Amino acid sequence: MGKIWLVTGASRGLGLEITRAALDAGETVVATARSADAVRDTFEGEHDRLHVLALDITDAEAANSVAAETIERLGAIDVLVNNAGYAELGFFETFTDAAVRRQFEVNLFGTMNVARAVAPHMRERRSGLIVTISSVSGLVSNGGGSVYSASKFAVEGWMEGFAQELAPLGVRSLLVEPGMLRTDFMDGRSASFGSIDIPDYAEAIAQYRAFVDEASGNQPGDPKLLAARIVELASQDEVPSRFVFGTDAREWVGAKVDQLRQEIAQSADYG
């Protein structure tokens, strides 16, 4: 018998591909997005194992309602994929306080809302898998990505600890850190840029925006391949705590590890 999946941010991008891959594997999927119609329009009734619900993950009561309705209708949630999110791309000082808080409201607190709604059910059953879509930017930060990285670093720290709290109760966790995926994540529908003009950063920001514009749609990572791999990992008895996806991500993380090793060794010189 197939598993029952709950996927957030399923209307496009990686969330859509995970939904499709799970359905193709014979699973039942509750696909959520702020617009349920956007998900229905994509699949056009082609799967009787697809159930679509509207969910804004920043609404904690809505998250509780979606979890309760899924369990009532289908009996269980075996796999939660916390995927919904977006990126504030730009230099830190160009963002208003409201924009920074919105980044955390969605990427961190919204993700927490959904996990908090589902975890009690999984604990009661002593079974379940929480897949959290983070980013290589949750392990490595750079200029132009500081605000987005801050939200993903927070997700990493939260889930690393939460996973250890859940593990003795039979609930597993998988943090996924993709590199640059070939989705619309970097275009205007997903990404948002700072609104404050600071001349000192003007040249660097122009170069960064040119990089983003050129990269959008040309990213090396295949979201279909990542989605298939996530579905495959979810079917296994043993799941790694982390999955770094893409040669770019592995190179960046490897360089960060090497840097940390060097800095740890240098720190020993000072006691």
Number of structural domains in the chain: 1
- Is the pLDDT at 1 greater than 60, yes or no? yes
Q: Which of 11, 134, 135, 192 is catalytic?
A: 134
Q: What phi and psi values does residue 44 have, to the nearest 5 degrees?
A: 50, 45
Range of the domain at 135: 4-268
Q: Is 134 a catalytic residue?
A: yes
Find the mean pLDDT for residues 39-59. 90
> 154: domain CATH number?
3.40.50.720
Task: Please say whether the beta carbons of 27 and 240 come within 8 A.
Answer: no
Digit-coded pLDDT (tens) for 195-245:
899 999 999 999 988 888 777 766 666 899 999 999 999 999 999 999 999
Digit-coded pLDDT (tens) for 79-88:
999 999 999 9
Find the mean pLDDT for residues 118-128. 98
- pLDDT at position 212, please? 81
Q: Which of 135, 137, 149, 152 is catalytic?
A: 152
- pLDDT at position 86, please? 93
Q: Which of 137, 148, 192, 208 is catalytic?
A: 148
Can you give the pTM of this predicted structure? 0.94
